[in-house]
Amino acid sequence: MTDTETSTPPTSLAQLSSRLVDDARNLDAELIEVDLLVEQAKSEAARHVARRAAAADKLTALQKGGSTEPKDLLELSAQLVTLTKRAALMESQVDVLEGKRRALGRYRDAVAEYAAAAGMLPRAGVDGDLAETDPALDVVPDPDDPVPTAVSRMVMSAQEDLRREISRAMHDGPAQSLTNIVLQAQIVERLVTRDPASAHGEVRQLIAMVQQTLDATKSFIFDVRPMVLDDLGLLPTLRRAARERGRRAGLTVEFDSMGQDRRLPADLESGLFRIVDDALAAYMGLAPDHVSLKLEWTAQVEVRVAASRTPLFITEAPAAAVVAPDPKKKGGKEAPVDELPPALAAMIEERLADERDAAEAARLQAIVILPPATWREIQTRAASIGVTAELLDEGSQLVLLTEAAPPEA
């Protein structure tokens, strides 16, 4: 398939099916290449770790033996720095490649499923299955029926938006960090030849930078597609997402799960995770004081995400307590409101109105409202996977409800 063919949207079901089959084959080839790269990276990382351990042992032996040969110590220090840098970089590369392998595998499986489904459409039209299933259909689909241009354009636009987002995130995150690591390694390399004593501190800083970059890369992979979602399911993934979101925002997310959790269909788990993660991120961006995530597992799965702020309480005594009338008293010490002087009654009513306004303002200030744009995206995604989404408490609580098979006895 030429570049022109791949850049042109398919105009028929047959072309779409053929394009998907070709994409699946290309992904298979890429997966084989990535597997080879992973094995090579693991071998290189293991080799560098072994050499680094040997160099460290040799350096320790020389120092304990009282060796004062600066040349030997200098060479071993430089070798140790280089091997540490290479081992850390290779380990980071292994993690990145394994994440890419898993992502490509999931993408390849999805493309293969779509290709199989698209390949069945023409056969269903020829056999007349669609007409038997829905007698209201007047026209049986033809294999060469064109795919609407608007649909093709939307699919390609979504793919490009996703590639653009991932590329920008990689450039601003791991790529920048790796550049800083290279610069730090060059500084260490210069110090090793000039001032070995100062190089030790720079080596520690280099190791810290590598570890920080590795953690950031793992977080990036989790944000793109958490591997724990495929391995363990929805509950552990949401627990980790709540913990990570809370750590970044400096806030502990209250997490609770009731009932026996279980695996759900892959598309449902993925969709629920995205909805909840987007809701957590949106609420966290509004600086709440309290955030909670609760799941309830029955014949249905119910997920609740809520956020709030600590309300501002009114500490002054209410104005009504100053002149509260009591009809039961007959001593004339307290007069009914309608018998108060007009000016005093107006002043009391004004104070009561101010207190009501202050109480309402405090109540509204405590509400953390899910942004409308996020709510619209959640509604669209929820509808696409058959999840009921509801916004309660004036937008401060998101409730998701979906059918799920009950746990096996």
Q: Per-domain residue ranges for the chain? A: 3-225, 230-309+368-403, 319-366
Q: For a pLDDT cut of 70, what percent of the chain falls above it?
A: 73
Q: In this predicted model, what pLDDT tens digit does every residue of 344-379 receive, in sequence order?
A: 777 877 788 777 777 766 666 778 889 999 999 899
Task: Tell me the per-residue pLDDT of 183-217, one tens digit each, with 9 for 90 and over.
Answer: 878 888 777 777 777 777 888 888 888 887 777 77
38 contacts: CB under 8 Å, gap ≥ 6? 94, 97, 98, 101
Residues in CB range of 213: below 8 A, 6 or more apart: 92, 174, 177, 178, 181
pLDDT at 152: 66
Residue 139 pLDDT > 50: no
pLDDT score, position 317: 44
CA nearest to 10, candidates 111, 157, 141, 144: 144
Q: What is the pLDDT of residues 266-287, one digit of tens each?
A: 889 989 999 999 999 999 888 8
The pLDDT value recorded for residue 186 is: 81
Res 133 pLDDT > 90: no
What are the pLDDT digits (tens) for 307-328? 988 876 544 444 444 444 454 4
Place of tokens 């398939």: 1
**Rounded to whole angstroms, how far apart are CA atoms 230 and 355?**
54
* pLDDT at 170 exceeding the cut of 90: no
State the pairing for strand pair 253-258/290-297. parallel
Superfamily of domain 230-309+368-403 in CATH is Histidine kinase-like ATPase, C-terminal domain (3.30.565.10)
Work out the mean pLDDT of the chain and round it to a whole number.
Answer: 75
> Lowest-pLDDT range, 174-188, 225-239, 323-337, 360-374?
323-337
Q: What is the mean pLDDT of residues 396-408?
A: 77
For residue 238, pLDDT beyond 80: yes
- The phi and psi torsions of 300 (rounded to 5 degrees) equal -115, 165
Choose the weakest-confidence range: 145-154, 165-174, 220-229, 344-353. Answer: 145-154
- pLDDT tens per residue across span 9-33: 666 677 777 777 888 888 888 888 7
Work out whether the CA dihedral 323, 328, 330, 336 comes out positive or negative.
positive
Please report which confidence band the pLDDT of residue 302 belongs to, taking 50, 70 and 90 as the band edges.
very high
Whole-angstrom Cα distance, residue 276 to residue 238? 8
Backbone φ, ψ for residue 265 (5° rounding): -55, 145
pLDDT of residue 22: 81
Residue 213's alpha-carbon distances to 92, 209, 405, in angstroms, are 8, 6, 41
> How far separated are the first and last CA of the chain, in Å rounded?
52
Our measurement of the distance from residue 398's CA atom to the centroid of its chain's CA atoms, rounded to an integer in Å, reads: 17
* Rounded average pLDDT over 98-111: 77
pLDDT tens-digit profile of 41-95?
Answer: 787 778 877 877 787 777 777 767 665 566 766 777 777 777 777 777 777 777 7
Quick: pLDDT tens for 381-401: 898 888 999 999 888 899 999
Q: What's the pLDDT score for residue 256?
A: 94
At residue 239, the pLDDT reads 92
Dihedral angle, C-alpha 128, 133, 136, 141, nearest 10 °: -40
| pLDDT at position 125 over 70 | no
Q: Are 272 and 387 in contact (CB under 8 A)?
A: yes
- pLDDT of 407 reads 46
Q: Around Cβ 9, how many Cβ atoms within 10 Å?
A: 16
